[in-house]
Amino acid sequence: MGKKVVRLGLFGLGTVGRGIVELLQRKNKEKGDYEFVLEKIAVKHLDKERPTSVASRLLTTNHREILENPEIDTVVEVIGGISPAKEIILEALKKGKNVVTANKALLARIGSQLFEEAIKNNCYLGVRASNVASYRLIESLAFSPFQIEKLLGVFNATSNYILTQMEKKGQSFSSVLEKAQEIGYAEEDPSNDIDGYDTAHKLVALLSLAMGYFLPLESVFVEGIRRISYQDILFARELGYRIKLLAIVKRRDNNLEARVHPALLPIGKEMAQLEGIENGLELRDEVGVEVGIKAPGAGKYPTATAILEDLICIAKGRKLILPQQRKHLNLKKMGEIESEYYLRFNVLDRVGVLAKISGILGNHNISIASVIQKGKAEKSLNSVPIIMLTYEAEEEAVQDALKEIDALSVAKGKSLLIRVEEGIL
Amino acid sequence: MGKKVVRLGLFGLGTVGRGIVELLQRKNKEKGDYEFVLEKIAVKHLDKERPTSVASRLLTTNHREILENPEIDTVVEVIGGISPAKEIILEALKKGKNVVTANKALLARIGSQLFEEAIKNNCYLGVRASNVASYRLIESLAFSPFQIEKLLGVFNATSNYILTQMEKKGQSFSSVLEKAQEIGYAEEDPSNDIDGYDTAHKLVALLSLAMGYFLPLESVFVEGIRRISYQDILFARELGYRIKLLAIVKRRDNNLEARVHPALLPIGKEMAQLEGIENGLELRDEVGVEVGIKAPGAGKYPTATAILEDLICIAKGRKLILPQQRKHLNLKKMGEIESEYYLRFNVLDRVGVLAKISGILGNHNISIASVIQKGKAEKSLNSVPIIMLTYEAEEEAVQDALKEIDALSVAKGKSLLIRVEEGIL
């Protein structure tokens, strides 16, 4: 049998694109039963200086040169964003080209349409690179006989790096963010990472790949880590917890919770121990089998490696197989979820304040498990933090209670709520 | 399109077999685009009492009723052992039936032949259940563009349970083993688990699945955990380590190390934190990407779930694809490996003993990193333990030195050597 040759058109030559070029060169040196030929690379500017050596005849600014070239059987998209990535991928699939993409934002929005188009045109659609940390597990989940009961993920390297550094260095969120931006661990506009959107994209894409369930992105509750202070990290540690930005899925019967927010996790748990840019995923299925994976969440080589794995699937003739579509699930409203809560109140150091707060919580059926109140305000007008850990309560009741407490005359600034997760492994 | 029906013949109705029957019943209640029909179950005795309700018309003691039934397209083998499992699987494949097996002992011996036969007859050969803890990762490794540089696995639930209990309860190996046997965590003849053979089987199967490299089972160095004492666990902890039974693979260029033995791992490392029946696998590839997985290593549901995942692959028409065969690798002889070592000497409490031992080690170019010598022998004829941690040394030199030391008149009983591994994640 002859060697299988895969002819590639690459869209994007940023960090990941360059990683792909580099790894393809390295890979092609091995003698295998397949070979990758990079036919064309679409870039924005032809004359930009590039650290990876690429023959200039490969570069083009004209997408048509890839999309309309019948020799190119496989398109790799690593430009990111919605447009023109969406148009490129859809046209490539319609033309019968295989597509490999790292685009989680797009998958989270129109994943269902993309997979339909791929199936219709008998193409492979590789999306490993859209969730670098956990694709090895997701790949297998598509064949899992049982539904997920609970899933927790740490999917954003930037956020996890910031939270880890805050704890290690004893620094504020903003000063750690600034340093992360300096060394390239956070983008100039960090919102996508630190406000939880990237994690939400990965969560929605994962649900479709692992559970055959396409959840509308807008319906996922998303909260980021901007309001976490070093103080919260210290209090959490005192209580035996570490704060992580989590993707959370819980399913019982047809009721689903899917949310992204920072959470207190018991320090001994796997997800609590992920440090810096490490990411991870753990889950429990309906027959109680628990499994977890830990891997780098980002980076040139991890992402490019994920892309290459999809390319090798194409070379080896693997067909796209989607998980069984799960019957309709009811997404719980955020107000309906139940959780334990970490609450931080900033109040004036006055007699009776603790009684007032406890009273309001009690009126809303919220029981307090622990309280930390330390030190005194230096001046009578300065606020002191009061930390409470509640027993399980309904989110809506907690939100209502916080509104009442924040309206008290002794309250200085908005209270902070962080949900508590018990973890799996 | 009609529903895909997979007609099954099951060999074996032990714990795992019953788990499969139970989960198939549960799975078939869901409406999916495929269905599993259990046509026949081959058992040893028809009249045995069974906790799972199985229609007696399904049972047979005659293998021919499954192998010669053309209606049955898929055979599930969970009887274990070499014969008749080998003959059953080979005949099933030759007859064009798909095969799903949990048989690591067989895979480690004739995996290459089984996969060849499957490919030749265009059958699926599912082996997820042969390495329950790590198949989700292995599955993906078959498409990995890069070779493994280092791999560590904790693959035996019984051994890990025993080591964990020894540490937690402060008990001896033999008393923990006895209790494990009582509660069914260890078999009556525990050798396969505690002497490392099960781990070696899984290691060899994994190498073939993940690296396309079929290593002869006999060439793998195997050492079990029988000689580990509670004392060693305590000394290891004092030095910052935990003792685990590890499968170890290291590759540099064409040189391969593949071995199974207990090892000291730094306490903070992932593999050191696996408790009880938890198993795990971690690896680093040649471009430096590190990934780890943690999952139950055994049990009715985890194993049966792995079998069902293979059955779903069959139902969905997934084809068997093997990893690219790697070029020939040279397996290092055990004497050639280099490692740090934990050494326990049992010697009479006499003047000059420490100097003698250090002298012999020095003569063999072995440098000592730490020494622990505690307490005094109660009587002059009792031995005391001396613990040493060495810097990196060659195995052969260490073995030679130990022989010399054991021949000293002050030596009481054979010295113990445990290799030290730095871990990955």
Spatial separation of the C-alpha atoms in residues B331 and B306, rounded to whole Å = 31
- How far apart (Å, rounded) are the C-alpha atoms in residues A301 and B346? 49
Question: Are B145 and A33 an interchain contact pair (Cβ–Cβ within 8 Å)?
Answer: no
Which of B278, B287, B318 to probe by mutation at the A interface, max A CB count within 10 Å?
Answer: B287
- CATH of B4-131 among 1.10.3720.10, 3.40.50.300, 3.40.50.720, 3.40.50.150: 3.40.50.720
Per-residue pLDDT at B378? 66
What is residue A54's predicted lDDT score, i.e. its pLDDT?
87
- A90: its two tokens: 């859809």
Residues of chain B positioned with their CB less than 8 A from the CB of A266: none
Question: Quick one: pLDDT at residue A1?
Answer: 55
The single-letter DSSP state of residue A394 is E
Same fold, B135-296 and B334-420: no
Cβ count near A42 (within 10 Å): 25
The confidence score (pLDDT) of residue A108 equals 96
Closest to B207 (Cα-Cα) out of B165, B263, B249: B249
Q: pLDDT tens string for chain B (425 positions)?
A: 578 999 999 999 999 999 999 999 988 877 778 899 999 999 999 888 777 678 899 999 999 999 999 999 999 999 999 999 999 999 999 999 999 999 999 999 999 999 999 999 999 999 999 999 889 888 888 888 888 999 999 999 999 999 999 999 999 999 999 999 999 899 999 999 999 999 999 999 999 988 888 899 999 999 999 999 999 999 999 999 999 999 999 999 899 999 999 999 999 999 999 999 999 999 999 989 999 999 988 888 999 999 999 999 999 998 888 887 776 789 999 999 999 999 999 999 888 899 999 999 999 999 999 999 887 766 666 788 999 999 999 999 999 999 999 999 999 989 999 999 999 99
What value, to the nearest 5°, has the Cα angle with vertex B419 and ends B270 and B180? 65
Is residue A131 within 8 Å of residue A109, measured between CB atoms?
A: no
Q: CATH assignment of A135-296? A: 3.30.360.10
The one catalytic residue in A40, A97, A150, A202 is: A202
Per residue in B292-325, pLDDT (tens digit) is: 999 988 888 999 999 999 999 999 998 888 887 7
Identify which of A282, A293, A318 has the shortest CB distance to residue B291.
A293
**A10-14 mean pLDDT:** 96
Query: What whole-number distance in Å separates Cα of residue A66 and Cα of residue A84?
Result: 14
Band (pLDDT 50/70/90 cuts) for residue A381 is low
Chain A residues within 8 A of B210 when measuring between CB atoms: none
Q: Do A145 and B309 touch (CB under 8 A)?
A: yes
pLDDT higher at B382 or A116: A116
Collapsed DSSP state (helix, strand, coil) of residue A385 = strand
Distance from CA of B293 to the nearest CA of A (A): 4
> Quick one: which of A258, A214, A198 has its CA closest to A112?
A214
Task: Tell me the C-alpha distance between A352 and A389, whole Å.
Answer: 19
Residue B168 is predicted with a pLDDT of 97
Q: Check residue B1 and give its pLDDT.
A: 55
Beta-strand pair A74-77/A98-101: parallel
pLDDT for res B377: 64
The pLDDT value given to residue B241: 98
Closest CA–CA distance from residue A73 to any residue of chain B (Å):
19
Q: What's the CA gap between A238 and A232, in Å, rounded?
A: 10
Region A263-282 average pLDDT: 95
pLDDT of residue B360: 98
pLDDT at B198: 97
A285-344 per-position pLDDT tens digit: 998 999 999 998 888 899 999 999 999 999 999 888 887 777 678 999 999 999 999 999
At residue B300, the pLDDT reads: 86
What's the complex ipTM?
0.87
Domain limits of chain A?
A: 4-130, 135-296, 334-420
What is the per-residue pLDDT across A385-405, written as a single tens digit (0 to 9) for each? 999 999 999 999 999 999 999
Q: Which of A285, A305, A317 sits opposite B287 (nearest CB)?
A: A305
Is A141 strand, coil or helix? helix
Q: Is A202 a catalytic residue?
A: yes
Domain A4-130 in CATH 3.40.50.720: yes
* A416-420 vs A393-394, strand pairing mode: unpaired
Query: How far apart, in Å, do the first and last CA atoms of chain B sit?
Result: 47
At residue B68, the pLDDT reads 98
Chain B residues lying within 8 Å of A318, measured CB to CB: 143, 319, 321
Q: What is the pLDDT of residue B380?
A: 62
> How far does A302 lie from chain B, in Å, by closest CA?
6
Give the pair of three-digit tokens for residue A96.
């019968």
How many pairs of residues across A and B have Cβ atoms under 8 Å apart?
124
Other beta carbons within 10 Å of A33: 12
Q: Check pLDDT > 80 for residue A369.
A: yes
Copy the structure tokens of residue B258: 């593949």
Q: Which residues of chain A are at the B interface, by a Cβ-Cβ cutoff of 8 Å? A: 23, 26-27, 32-33, 135-137, 139-140, 143-146, 270, 282, 285, 287-296, 301-302, 305, 308-313, 316-319, 321, 324, 425
Contact assessment for residue B186 and residue B158, using Cβ atoms and an 8 Å cutoff? yes
Q: Where does B334-420 sit in CATH, by number?
A: 3.30.70.260
DSSP secondary structure, B169-224, as one string: HT--HHHHHHHHHHTTSS-SS-HHHHTSHHHHHHHHHHHHHHHS----GGGSEE--
- pLDDT, residue A237, reads 97
pLDDT one-digit tens code per residue, A200-231: 999 999 999 888 888 999 999 999 999 999 99
Helices B230-238, B157-169: crossing angle, 10 deg rounding: 80
Q: Which helix (H) or strand (E) holds A330?
A: strand A330-331
Segment A345-362 mean pLDDT? 93
pLDDT score for A383: 85
CA B342 to chain centroid, in Å, comes to 23
